[in-house]
Amino acid sequence: MEFEYLIIFLPLVGAIISGFFGKFLGSRNSEILTSLFVTISSIFSFLIFYKVFNDGYINNLDIFTWINSGSFNVNWSIKIDALSSVMLVVVTLVSSIVHIYSIGYMSHDPHKQRFMSYLSLFTFSMLMLVTSDNFLQLFFGWEGVGLCSYFLIGFWFKKESANAAAIKAFVVNRVGDFGFALGIFLIFYLFGTVNYAEVFELIPQSLDVNLTFLGLSFNAINLICILLFIGAMGKSAQIFLHTWLPDAMEGPTPVSALIHAATMVTAGVFLVVRCSPIYEYSPLALNIITIVGMSTAFFAATVALAQDDIKKIIAYSTCSQLGYMFFAAGVGAYNVAMFHLFTHAFFKALLFLGSGSVIHSFKDEQNINLMGGVWKKLPYSWILMVIGTLALTGFPFLSGFYSKDAIIEFAYLRGNTVGYFAAGIGVFTALLTSIYSWRLMFKTFHGNYNNKKLNISSLHESPMVMIIPLIILAIGAIFSGFLFKDLFIGIESSSNFWKNSIFFLEPLSQDHPPSWFIFLTPILVILSIPAAYYIFVKNIKITNEIVNGNLPLYNFLKNKWYFDELYDYLFVNPSKKIGLYFWKKIDLRFIDRFGPDGISNLIKNISLFAVKFQNGFIYHYAFIMLLGFSALLTFLILR
């Protein structure tokens, strides 16, 4: 059997066994089985990646014919090229680490089998998404990860806030998915196929086609690109469709690491990069992607400055880093976007799982203001999260330094107004990222111990089943940037690696930005560390003075730019009012009154009237029989 089949279907088999037969296997056997299957998938993914890197391996395995109706032909396939091989490594590696970590983190949960089943099912859906060779299979995986995210975010279904967060994630993603579905419909309408190879080949022939959409005339390629990007915005939590991401932290911490660090939220970036043969012919869509990406990066970084929940800070950090990936794609540097996606998977999963280790030690406390002074009590968690933070902020020679700085440099080299603006926002956002990241670290691990409910002596380090996965991620966070920079973004080696999986209409600039620009971001990142230490540890009064002196701004950031309140005012509350009106005025007064309730009441009244004749007197029965006979005789005569 080909490795590809095992990579894809082992997680599905693990999900089925744990989900349906976990009760008979027991929780520990279910945990071992699902973790083993996903780990085997991860090992085989590395083998595939090596074959692609070393031998230029490309394959497209048809599993079976899915739909064959007229001119509409869709196969269920496994497409292997450089792009999918990178995603296979990212998805399976992070998933296997999260599975193993969950054995320790979820040790006290009574529903471990269900949790592991959901994790494996999510992994299968994501693998189907990244190995698809057509838009319909992509959409299947797209909706599959959306469904599994609903299951995982709302895993603790007895918790009202978890249920609300799961529903919110599901509904907001449906908004983006509606645009995505329209894009796929339009692709089939124009080209008569949804297979990547056929669609990409036909794109250059359709550059001048115009369509009327919502009463306006659009260039067909621009419209397709924008509709597909709306789907990417929802899945990857870009500004305006981002509101579900921080609320999704209501799920268990391993869920945050799996969904929000390396897999589901990167599906939007993968979509744009996979569709580079379409986007390269739409400068308008690329400019929109750049603007949305840099806006998201800046917005999420500002909000993270004022949050106190350790997981929400990291969630907004994810949102911000996804913005970087999108504006990299928007300036045409698709390979750089994939490089940051690759490195980000390591250090962000490390930060999420590291925060889970801290929360586990603090007995589920997540407020960083109720922590502090525990770096000696939790030495492994501390040093590993320091590594993750250094990588995230782009500290020189760690993974984030190579990928994030490359994004900013390529944006600068784009040479147009949008590119320069994106580069400037990228530098400023990098500074904000460093400030809020070190704020989290210093308030969590340094300064005074602030938790009055827990005695500091009761805190203890997490078990090794949780620490070892963190160590593996820390190795990736340190070395992945240095080891893979030439392969992903080198001038010659990257073109040999990516080949036809990424399309460039024009080659990327090979120039170098000015030296001052190259050194600007690392210098700001390094200087922000002692500045953050002084503000958040040494002289806390400054923090209070800054907050009190800028209270409206602080409240604006604390309340996440009031997006939730705005959406409640514009959409949620009017929808509730409309729903209540139709329920009380239309449903109860008309539909129920003259429909099911009316018919049942009529039958009930007739039966109550008929019962009166059933009183046991013979002359009543004789009278009724006589009336009936008379009616029948009259009918027969008149006929």
Q: Write the DSSP assignment of 52-82 as a string of letters.
A: HHHH---EEEEEEEEEEETTEEEEEEEEESH
Token pair, residue 218, equals 């659009």
Decide if pLDDT at 590 tops 80. no
pLDDT band at 261 (very low <50, low <70, confident <90, very high): low
| Residue 382: pLDDT band with limits 50, 70, 90 | very high
Q: pLDDT tens-digit profile of 488-530?
A: 988 777 778 888 889 888 878 778 888 888 899 999 999 999 9
Q: Which helix (H) or strand (E) holds 328?
A: helix 310-330
Please, what is the average pLDDT of the chain? 89
Cβ–Cβ < 8 Å for 222, 160: no
DSSP letter for each residue of 515-557? HHHHHHHHHHHHHHHHHHHIIIII-HHHHHHHHHHTHHHHHHH
Say whether 26 sits in a helix, a strand or coil: coil
pLDDT single digits (tens) 173-220: 999 999 999 999 999 999 989 999 999 999 998 888 888 887 888 899
- Residue 237: pLDDT band by 50, 70, 90 thresholds? confident
Estimate to the nearest angstrom the gap between the alpha carbon of 439 and the chain centroid.
25
Quote the CA–CA distance of 314 and 474 in Å, as a whole number.
16
Predicted pLDDT of residue 262: 61
**C-alpha distances in Å from residue 278, one per residue of 201, 213, 284, 291, 351:** 10, 19, 12, 19, 35
For residues 503 and 509, give the distance between their C-alpha atoms in angstroms, rounded to a whole number: 15
* pLDDT tier for residue 453 given thresholds of 50, 70 and 90: confident
Q: What do you get for the CA distance between the two ends of the chain, in Å?
A: 79
Element at 284 (helix H, strand E): helix 283-304
- Helix, coil or strand: residue 355: helix
3-state secondary structure at position 367: strand
Confidence check: pLDDT of 410 > 70: yes
Q: Which two tokens stand for residue 265?
A: 């939220």
pTM, rounded to two decimals: 0.90
Q: At 360, which amino acid appears?
A: H
Q: So what's the pLDDT on residue 611?
A: 74
- pLDDT of 508 reads 80
Looking at the chain, the whole-number percentage of residues with pLDDT higher than 70 is: 99
Integer-rounded Cα Rg, in Å, for the chain is 29
- State yes or no: pLDDT of 274 exceeds 90: yes
